[in-house]
Structure 1
Amino acid sequence: MQRLMPFQGWRLTFFQGIVFAVFAIFGLRMYQFQVLEAEELKALADENRLSRLPIAAPRGVIFDRNNQPLAINVPAFNVTIVPADLPSNEAELLAVYNRLSALTGVPPTIAAARQSGSTQRSIEELVAEGAGIAPYRAVIVAQDVDRRVAMQIREESLSLPGVAIEDASVREYPTGQLTSHIIGYMGRIPAEQELELLELGYNPAYDRIGYAGVEAYLESILAGQRGSVLREVDVAGRPIAQVEYVAPQPGRNVRLTIDTELQAAAERALRDRIARINADAGRIRSQTGVVIAMNPKTGEVQAMVSWPSYDNSRFARAIDVEYYLDVTADPLRPLYNQAISSLYPPGSIWKMITAVGVLQENVIAPETRLFDGGTLVLPNRYAPNDAAASQTFVCWLAQGHEYINMIGAIAQSCDVYFYQVGGGNPEVSPAILREGGLGINNLFRYATAFGIGSRLGIELPGENGGRMPDRDWKRRVYGESWSTGDTYNAAFGQGYVTTTPLQLINAIAAIANGGTLYLRTYAINIL
């Protein structure tokens, strides 16, 4: 009988099957890589071979209506380190860190930062983070250093391998606190916006964005479009050649309707008035105020002062933490733009809005006089004969204005007249005064037509819409019915009515110009 060799028969067949399976799998994988996933793998290879670096775009400049600069860019210097170019010797590396720390004030190492109690990230930490991502890419370790420091580092470049000075720019606010509520300021990107802005090309580690005012509202216009450099790199990330250059698109310049000289005059007038009020009272009676100047023919805001203010130039290069904590803790809220954000009962100026509704609805003839004896007594609906249950509404003038018509009531700010035309007076003949007066439904209709209760859309963040109440509002909020007394209060701008100073001047401007309400009141020009 013939002996079988070890790889004959079923053993050979089994071995051949294994070899075939291996080559089949290999072939399928090759087909997958070279055909099915070819484009994707090529893209991944290009990603590993190519490196794109962003180039910051110059930020747009903000001017007033007369082309006076309100926010500009000035040259600055950043200190950068290329991790791969640093000395490999530990002692030499530490010497570089220590020298930079002495010049810039940035802690040299993580241990030094902890020892000093500093919350600032150390040079060592920043470099280690950059080295782990792209060792041949420059890492900013100090921003906006003094010019003398920058020149000193350049002079010592031979003893500071891997260190360089990068030209940059920072924001500057020439008019400071005079226009800070309008212009705002810039700051680091908040953690909650990092992902969103990363997709737009921002670098959360270094880039700054508008935090308030026009800087925030027009961020996308002022920031421009970042450029980039696409470089070919080797396996270590070392640049080999430049593949593509995309120039940055500078941000658009912006011209506001603000007149800086008028703004300064308005601030002086407001501060003088506050000082005079306190001097006359012999005590601190007033510390805050607002002045707005608007062209009623165009709706352009030419001055907007909110007092107290803050100095945004203290936030221009880097936020002064101590100053920031002081102004945020100040109970007078200097960071708050009271002209657009604070809500107040409008008071007597509101009578102009009530008067428009009264005239339009023919509630009373403007020349007809009503009596003001200093008070108006409103009987209780459920106990009309019980004097103790009645409500008394008073005029600011205790003895009253006696008989007065609409023009006189506006000129002398007669409260009792507006109680009657706003909510009626059962003691006056319906032939003279419409029963129920203008009424809350009509007052609500006219007030909201003037923009009360909704934002005007001014090009600033933080605008408040105010509140114009009606029957439904009171029932919804308080679970109570609307009363005639509520209408009396609403008719002269008290009670539940609240507005911003901007809403009031915009409404009065509409009366002054013949009925045109402007809903965007800065009329910013993008240059």
Structure 2
Amino acid sequence: MFVLFFIILMRLFKLQVRDFEENLKLSNYYSQRQIPILAPRGEILDKDGEVLATNVESYILEYSYRNNSKSFFKVISEVLDILERYDEELYDNFELKVNPFRFEFGGLNESDKKSRELRFKTDRGYYEKLKKKYFPSVKELTDTQKRELENYILDISVEEVFYDLIKEYDLYKLLDESTLDSNSTGKEIYDSLTSEYTDEYIRKYMFIKDSIKMNSFSEFNPVILATDLKKETAFEIMQKQNMLQGINVSQKSIRYYPEGEFASNIIGYIGPIDDNQKERYQQEGYNIAYDVIGRAGVESVFESNLRGNHGGNVIKVDNNGVKKQEIFEKESRPGDNLYLTIDKDLQKVAERALSDVMLGLQKTGNNHGSGLDTSNATRGAAVVMDVNNGNILSLVSLPNYDPNVFVSEDNMTEETREKYFATNLKEFGENYIKERNLDIDVDTLFPLSDKDNMNSLRDDPNDIYPKVFFNYATQGLIPPGSTFKPLTAIAALEEGVIKPDELIKDNVIFEAYNNQWRNLIDYSLGSIDVKDALRTSNNHFFYEVGNRMYNSKNSNLEGLDVLANWAWKFGLGRPPNSTKYISTTGIELIETTGQVFNSQSMKSNIVALSSYNIVDILNRGEFGKYKFKPIDISKKNSDGEKLSKLKKEIKDLVKKILSEDLPLDIEQEILNEKVNYLSTNLKELFIQLVGYYAKEFGMNYEQSDIDNMTNAITDYILYSLRTEIYTPGNVINASIGQGISLFTPVQLVSYIATLVNGGIRYKLNLVDKIVDVDNNLVKEYNPEILEKVYLKQENVDAVIEGMRRVNRTGSTANVFTNGNYFPIETGGKTGTATFKEDGMQEKVGRAAYGVFVGFAPVENPEIAVCVVLYDGGHGYFGAYVARAIFEAYFKERLQKDYPKYVPMFPYTYTLMD
């Protein structure tokens, strides 16, 4: 008896004394909760401190699920009732939707959607589940087995996933538990649930449970149930918080863009972290449950500066989750503030003017005369930069969007979701065709990305539909047309093939290399110098000087690249394979880098298209004087290994020969060797190919067919395509901005700035400085010179004078001089470049690009401007936007020096007040 008593006493001692510290730690651990204090994002401001992006305080409804699983359904039911009474929405980023069952992954292509669906299902256990089912004994799957498994996962329907999650998340507990039990199937539970609840109501419990599961990697991070609650909603929940275990209302800074759509192409927007980004951002210290990230614009580029550092509270709670004591607090620190180089007032005027001109062109439609139809002038860009430091003062891309829509799921209506992410191109295309009476069907205009799947997304190969997330100012590649002529002029002057006052006779038709190039007008302007050539945009003059530059060089290749070497100095592209610059402008936003005509790029373009062209020739069975029985070398899924290999070898042989440098002045002996090499190897491959077709398909070919196929492709490659690459006619076309040259508006404005400031090419800056919350300087962006182009001042002056004449007596005189004279001297140049030749432009309802570049003042240039109007028809219309910009920029000077001046655009003054 004593022994038994002693044993009990010792165990009691151990429990009460020796294990006290351990139990205390355990008790404290289970009664503590960490509440994050989220750091507000830094503000985005214009150059004068005008706020473009800030934060507003908002009430957030959270659910901390620790130790509250038993009360889940009761608590959530009460919360849903309160939210419904106050007409509040749940924070819903759950991609599985009902009525009908479907996944919604936003405006992605089919491949991206499949990847997101695969990730969604994998995160919810289907990878492991199906791996056990189909590959139970395989430890390490091969690549083929992985692809097979992924296909099994994708084959699971949305309905099946919905039923599985009903079971997974014990949603049978919504009913009388005596009715069903955990052994019931998901479908059985669903059938019972629908007798009392709607699919949408069931889904609410499902995605809350799903959020808990997806957030289960962190014990303390709460699940967000609703954002931006009304005060009265928040207060009622706070009053009932003792009865709502795990529910908490906190205050959080919500991103707010006070100007709505204004400058959205610069600012960008924020959004939650996507599934496919979770791993990356977790490694960078983000909490994927509640952190947001910049998704576009400077919000994205400067994410690391803007995000701030979160703080947090450690509190002690009772068994019901009610706060009893605050143990520790770490304050959050707001993100850094971003000051842009943008002038808010100037940006407003540029946006308004560009929008007004576009709307005017849309309304005029096909009433311009001469067959021009500008009804689809729905996209455009305008850029203004300081020519003396590279600062961007305005950067406009239309159409734009309201970034406030993406701050919260509550802001995303079905209408906005469809507008931004799920555009019905079939419906749009049908209306587009009908309104313009086009002789084309919607499947040609907007072809399906997968022709065998009528539900696949449609492509827009003709760039017809306006894309709100596409930055037309930094990403839109356009042919420059005659806005390239100032570059040709300065290059010709610096190369010494013309002098500033030298006269060249306008012969209307320029003849060279067995070809003709014509002026736009059918009469001669007589003998003109470079200044009047710019004023009148005389093609013949620039054909002549382009050809002179070509002939001034010692070889075909040198001559072909003479213009490109000058264009590259001004940031209009860069030498192929050059690693000197990733971007030719250095602007902080995502941009596309355009390229000027050069022999290597031309060759690359031809090589890329060569396979399609030889497939076409062989399918037609003729080329020039050669005729033969057609043969198909197009790639087909049904091709066997041998046939597929033969087809590829023919195409690879052609690409190999074309990729070599074979200029027109190559020695005849070397050319003969190439002809012999290509024809010999082609003939051998064609012999094997026709043998295969004869054996497998009973298709018989004569020796003459093989000989003519060989000769046709050899001639096509080494004479037709080679001439197309290396003809001096390419330089003649490039001299007036035609051919393969394509540039973005930011490249064009940078080139004009470099020209008029005397040859200094600055890096383009959108950000002036970054300061912390206490206004301490974090980083300042000073002017950075990318390149110095050494130019003779007399040559620069000649080009500037020519551009001044354009606005005074040339194509834009009606904008700057006639009727409403603009008193500050400006320079400009219009450009009109077709979208597609041979009538295709009109067939698809498009018009030429309207491009205008300009600068002011002439005497001492301060700003450069580029305006682009997609389907604008003529660069002349862009000059109106530039006029509005000049009026706004020089407002104070105009009011002081020209007090009687009346603006052409009244809002250029009023929008700035």
Residues 511 and 232 of structure 1: CA distance in aligned 2, closer, same or farther (over 3 Å)? same
SS in 2 for 1:143: strand
CA–CA distance in structure 2, aligned partners of residues 325 and 127 of structure 1: 25
Q: Counterpart of 2:50? A: 68
Q: Could you say if the C-alpha distance between residues 163 and 419 of structure 1 is closer, same or farther in structure 2, counting changes exceeding 3 Å?
A: same
Q: Give unpaired runs (5+ residues) of structure 1.
A: 1-44, 381-390
Deviation at 1:443, TM superposition (A): 1.2
Q: Superposition RMSD on alpha carbons, in Å?
A: 3.7
Q: CA deviation at 1:232?
A: 9.2
1:5-84 residue pairs with structure 2 within 5 A?
54-84=36-66
Q: 1:345 aligns with which of 472, 479, 488?
A: 479
Question: Matched residues in 1 for 2:549 and 2:284: separation?
Answer: 63
Name which of 458, 478, 499 aligns with 1:365: 499
Deviates more, 1:511-520 or 1:496-505: 511-520
User: What is the CA–CA distance in structure 2 between the aligned matches of 1:507 and 1:54, rounded to whole Å?
Assistant: 50
Moved more, 169-178 or 318-327: 318-327
1:310 pairs with one of 382, 390, 401: 401
Match of 1:470 among 581, 588, 598: 598
Change (3 A) 1:425 1:526: closer
Match of 1:520 among 764, 771, 782: 764
1:27-46 Cα deviation digits (max 9, x unpaired): xxxxxxxxxxxxxxxxxx9x
2:358 and 2:215 mapped to 1: Cα distance? 58
Matches within 5 A, 1:168-179: 168-179=252-263
* 2:401 aligned partner, one-letter code: Y
Bigger mean CA deviation after superposition, 495-504 or 252-261: 252-261
| Amino acid in the other structure paired with 1:412 | T
Match of 1:420 in 2: 544
Provide the residue aligned with 2:585 in structure 1.
456
In 2, the alpha carbon distance for the partners of 1:309 and 1:128 equals 36
Q: How does 1:142-161 map to 2 (within 5 A)?
A: 142-161=226-245
Structure 1 residues 311-358: Cα deviation after superposition (integer angstroms, max 9, x where no partner)? 222223336263143134371112211000010011111111122211
Structure 1 residues 403-458: Cα deviation after superposition (integer angstroms, max 9, x where no partner): 111111112111111111112399xxx9xx99999943221111111112244221
Alignment of 1:61-460 (within 5 A): 61-84=43-66, 86=68, 88=70, 92-93=74-75, 95-100=77-82, 102=84, 103=86, 104-106=88-90, 115-116=199-200, 122=206, 124-125=208-209, 129=213, 138-229=222-313, 245-278=329-362, 279=364, 281-282=366-367, 283=373, 284=375, 286-318=377-409, 320=412, 322=414, 323-328=416-421, 329=423, 331-380=465-514, 391-424=515-548, 439-453=559-573, 454-460=583-589
User: Do the aligned partners of residues 334 and 136 (structure 1) sit closer, same or farther apart at CA in structure 2, a change above 3 Å counting?
Assistant: closer
CA contact (8 A) 1:187 1:210 kept: yes
Look up the match of 1:25. Answer: none
Letter in 1 for 2:58: A
1:180 offset after TM fit, Å? 0.7
Offset of residue 76 of structure 1: 0.9
TM-score by length of 1: 0.78
Aligned residues: 466
Provide the C-alpha distance between the structure 1 equivalents of 2:756 and 2:215, rounded to a whole number of angstroms: 65
Change (3 A) 1:118 1:173: farther
Amino acid at match of 2:49: N
CA distance 1:292–1:155, shift in 2 (3 Å): same
CA-CA distance at 1:101 after TM superposition: 5.0
Whole-Å separation in 2 of the counterparts to 1:487 and 1:53: 67
Is contact 2:212-2:223 (8 Å) kept? no
| AA matched with 1:165 | V
1:511 aligns with 2:755: yes
CA contact (8 A) 1:123 1:141 kept: no
Separation in 2, partners of 1:128, 1:93: 14
Which deviates more, 486-495 or 84-93?
84-93
**Equivalence map 1:480-519=2 (5 Å):** 480=722, 481-519=725-763
Q: Which moved more, 1:80-89 or 1:515-524?
A: 80-89
Determine the structure 1 residue equivalent to 2:627. none
Partners of 2:220 and 2:598 in 1: CA distance: 66
Q: 1:399 to 1:142 in 2, by over 3 A?
A: same
- Cα distance, 1:82 vs. partner? 3.0
Deviations 1:235-282 (A, max 9, x none): x99999877644333210011111121111112221232234342742
- Paired with 1:259 and 1:172, the residues of 2 have a C-alpha distance of 20
Q: C-alpha separation between the residues in 1 aligned to 2:53 and 2:564?
A: 41
> What is the aligned partner in structure 1 of residue 815 from structure 2?
none
SS in structure 1 of the partner of residue 760 of structure 2: coil
Structure 1 residue 91: deviation in Å?
7.4
Check whether the contact 1:135–1:237 (CA below 8 A) recurs between aligned residues: no
Distance 1:160 1:194 in 2: 31
Which AA in structure 1 matches 2:760?
A: T
SS in structure 1 of the partner of residue 228 of structure 2: coil
What secondary structure is seen at the aligned counterpart in 1 of 2:234?
helix
Identity %: 28
Question: In structure 2, do the counterparts of structure 1 residues 187 and 94 end up closer, same or farther at CA, with 3 Å as the change threshold?
Answer: closer
Q: Describe the shift of the 1:170–1:131 C-alpha distance in structure 2 as closer, same or farther (beyond 3 A).
A: closer
Give 1:161 shift. 3.6
* Bigger Cα Rg: 1
Give the AA of the match of 1:353: L
Is the Cα–Cα contact under 8 Å of residues 364 and 434 in structure 1 kept in the other structure?
no
Alpha-carbon deviations, 1:151-206, whole Å to 9, x = none?
23223334434322111111111112221101111111122221111122212122
Quick check: 1:130–1:139 contact (8 Å CA) kept in 2?
A: no
Q: Is the 8 A contact 2:39 2:310 kept in 1?
A: yes
Q: Is the 8 A contact 1:339 1:500 kept in 2?
A: yes
- Which TM-score applies when normalising by structure 2? 0.47
Q: Deviations over 1:96-133 (max 9, x none)?
A: 35435535444999567982288666475157538966
Partner of 1:23: none
The letter for the 2-side match of 1:66 is D
What SS class does the counterpart of residue 144 from structure 1 fall into? strand
Matches of 1:131 and 1:290 in 2, distance apart? 43
Q: Is the 8 A contact 1:85 1:136 kept in 2?
A: no
How much does 1:57 deviate? 1.6
Contact 1:136 1:239 (C-alpha < 8 Å) held by counterparts: no
SS in 1 for 2:408: coil
How far apart in 1 are the matches of 2:50 and 2:597? 42
Q: Which residue of 1 aligns with 2:877?
A: none
- After superposition, the C-alpha distances for 1:347-402 in whole angstroms (9 at most, x for unaligned) are 1111111222111111111211112232212233xxxxxxxxxx221222232433
Give the Cα–Cα distance (whole angstroms) in 1 for the partners of residues 204 and 586 of structure 2: 40
Q: Is 2:383–2:394's contact at 8 Å kept on the other side of the alignment?
A: yes
CA distance in 1, matches of 2:316, 2:248: 22
